[in-house]
Amino acid sequence: MDAQPAWIKITDFESASPLQHWTKLDVQNETLPRVNNPQITEVRSETVSENQYLLKKPAAEGVVGNRKAISFTALPKPIEVGGIYTFYVRLNVAAFPNNHVFGLSDMGPEGIAQHAYNALEPTLRITDRYDPNIDYKNDGTLLVRKDDWYQRIINPQTGTFATPLQTNTWYDVWMVVNNQLKSAGGQTYDVYIQGGEEFPNQQKVFTNADFRMQREQPLIYFSATCNTGPADKPYGNGGLGYDDLYMVAGVVLTKPAM
């Protein structure tokens, strides 16, 4: 019998102190009237299964102006330059409208606080906000980074863009992260997904997405950012659930044993 892949648990939020090694920062708090520490990043428990997961929102409903609500935790081991790893996470969109961006960073706490979105390298985005710089209204389809902006994932069965993520539905997502030098074909990632009505079986939904900054450094943190939008044009505070963050060397498309 073949040996099972050596998945490394980052967190499953089931410990007695599940956020002990997480940092929460509101680095662009423009709430008015001022709300200190407006972001909601807390562990919830599902009613039936009692499974614990992380719910992240930029602020409570009705609070606007928290522009960069960041949460991050260190990876149990670096993804060194030259390494290829698979990152696994379960995701659940609590509600739209929202704007969430998350992924792996080559920076530590100070760099993440300073650079926010630009601290990320392999990146996923979930949002239905209007992007004025490209005159495009997002629809809640999972997005990857490609060239200088984002692209929707593809349904390989239809050859067209995937449909928006369903709310209150868990999706399994695999990012195969190639942290080789760009000259060697690295600084890219592939994305696989399973879940919802559209993807009952695992499907590869994007090939060769681009690292955001392509700094060719070891990846050392998981970081997630969300944004209410500006006070005068808010996006919305819909939450995103995270659970079962794992990593493993190589291309591994099984699910971690939980």
In percent, how much of the chain has pLDDT > 90? 97
Span 183-242, pLDDT tens digits = 999 999 999 999 999 999 999 999 999 999 999 999 999 999 999 999 999 999 999 999
Q: How confident is the model at residue 153 (pLDDT cuts 50, 70, 90)?
A: very high
Q: Residue 258 has what pLDDT? A: 76
Span 11-47, pLDDT tens digits = 999 999 999 999 999 999 999 999 999 999 999 999 9
- Read off the tokens for 216: 């060719």
The predicted model gives 134-155 an average pLDDT of 97
Contact 188, 176 (CB under 8 A): no
Residue spans of the domains in the chain: they are 8-249
Domain 8-249 belongs to what topology? Jelly Rolls (2.60.120)
Which amino acid is located at 104 in the chain? L
Q: How confident is the model at residue 4 (pLDDT cuts 50, 70, 90)?
A: low
Within the chain, strands assigned E span 8-11, 23-26, 40-45, 52-57, 69-79, 84-93, 99-105, 120-127, 130-131, 136-137, 143-146, 149-152, 154-155, 160-161, 170-178, 188-195, 199-210, 219-226, 240-249
Q: Residue 81 has what pLDDT? A: 98
| Stated pTM of the model | 0.97
Burial call 74-110: b when 16+ CB within 10 Å, e when fewer: bbeebbebebebbbbbbbbbbebbbbbbbbbbbbebe
